[in-house]
Amino acid sequence: MSIKVYIPLDSGSVALGADDVAAAIAKKAETNGADVKIVRNGSFGMYWLEPMVEVETPDGRLAYGPVAVEDVDDLFVSDFLSGGDHKLSLGKTQDISFLKNQSRLTFQRCGIIDPLSLEDYRAHDGLAGLEKALKMSDADIVKAVTDSGLRGRGGAGFPTGIKWNTVRQAPGDQKYIVCNADEGDSGTFADRMVMEGDPFVLIEGMIIAGLATGATKGYVYTRSEYPVAIDVMSEAIEVARAAGLLGDNVLGSGKAFDMEVRMGAGAYVCGEETSLLNSMEGKRGVVRAKPPLPALEGFMGRPTVVNNVISLCSVPVILEKGSDYYRDFGMGRSRGTIPIQIAGNVKHGGLYEIGFGLTLGEIVEQIGGGTATGRPIKAVQVGGPLGAYFPKELFDTPFDYEEFTKQNGLIGHAGVVVFDDTVDMMKQARFAMEFCAIESCGKCTPCRIGSIRGTEVVDKLERGEDPELQIELLTDLCQTMKFGSLCALGGFTPYPVMSALNHFPDDFKPRALDIAAE
Partner 1 sequence: MSNQIEEQSVRVADICDQMSGLEGPLLPILHEVQEEFGHIPDGAIQTISKKLNLSRAEVHGVASFYHDFREEKAGKHVIKICRAEACQAMGADQLGEQVRRHLKVDWSQTTTDRKVTLEPVFCLGLCACAPAAMVDGKVVGRVSPDRMNRLLEEVRS
* Span near partner 1 by CB under 8 A; candidates 94-102, 258-266, 469-477, 487-495: 258-266
**By CB under 8 A, residue 489 contacts partner 1:** no
What is the smallest separation between the CB atom of 132 and partner 1, expressed in angstroms? 31
Q: Which is nearer to partner 1, 264 or 409 (CB)?
A: 264
**By CB under 8 A, residue 504 contacts partner 1:** no
**By CB under 8 A, residue 419 contacts partner 1:** yes
What is the smallest separation between the CB atom of 123 and partner 1, expressed in angstroms? 28
d(CA 490, CA 450): 8
**By CB under 8 A, residue 365 contacts partner 1:** no
* Span near partner 1 by CB under 8 A; candidates 102-110, 146-154, 239-247, 416-424: 416-424
Identity of the residue numbered 60: G
The CA distances from residue 143 to 175, 196, 234, 322, 389, in Å, are: 19, 30, 31, 11, 37
What is the secondary structure of 194-212 as a DSSP string? HHHH-HHHHHHHHHHHHHH
Q: How far apart are the first and last CA of the chain?
A: 73
What is the smallest separation between the CB atom of 428 and partner 1, expressed in angstroms? 7
**By CB under 8 A, residue 263 contacts partner 1:** yes
Identity of the residue numbered 289: A
What is the smallest separation between the CB atom of 73 and partner 1, expressed in angstroms? 22
What is the smallest separation between the CB atom of 286 and partner 1, expressed in angstroms? 8
What is the pattern of x (binds partner 1, CB under 8 A) and - over residues 286-325?
x------------xx-------------------------
350: left (phi over 0), alpha (psi -120 to 50) or beta: left
Calculate helix-pair angle for 309-321, 190-197, nearest 10 degrees. Answer: 60
**By CB under 8 A, residue 55 contacts partner 1:** no
Which member of 262, 327, 448, 460 binds partner 1 (CB under 8 A)? 262
What is the smallest separation between the CB atom of 491 and partner 1, expressed in angstroms? 19
Indicate the helix (H) or strand (E) that contains 31.
helix 18-32
Nearest to 65 by CA among 104, 96, 32: 96
Q: Which is nearer to partner 1, 78 or 455 (CB)?
A: 455
Identity of the residue numbered 158: F
Task: Please list every residue from 145 through 204 that binds partner 1, using CB under 8 A.
Answer: 183-189, 191-192
Task: Please list every residue from 318 through 347 that binds partner 1, using CB under 8 A.
Answer: 341-346
Task: Please list every residue from 68 through 127 that binds partner 1, using CB under 8 A.
Answer: none
Q: How many residues bind partner 1 (CB under 8 A)?
A: 63
Helix ranges (H only) for 124-252 are 128-134, 138-148, 160-169, 190-197, 199-213, 227-242
78-79-85-86 Cα dihedral, nearest 10 degrees: 40
289: left (phi over 0), alpha (psi -120 to 50) or beta: beta
HSE, side-chain direction, 13 A CA sphere, residue 222:
26
Nearest to 408 by CA among 341, 500, 507: 500
**By CB under 8 A, residue 205 contacts partner 1:** no
Q: Which is nearer to partner 1, 404 or 435 (CB)?
A: 435
Q: Which is nearer to partner 1, 267 or 457 (CB)?
A: 267
What is the smallest separation between the CB atom of 445 and partner 1, expressed in angstroms? 18
What is the smallest separation between the CB atom of 339 and partner 1, expressed in angstroms? 12
**Bridge-partner residues for 418, per DSSP?**
344, 380
Residues that bind partner 1 (CB under 8 A): 11-12, 14-16, 45, 47-48, 50, 183-189, 191-192, 224-227, 262-268, 279-286, 299-300, 341-346, 349-351, 372, 381, 385, 415, 417-420, 423, 428, 431, 435, 438-439, 441
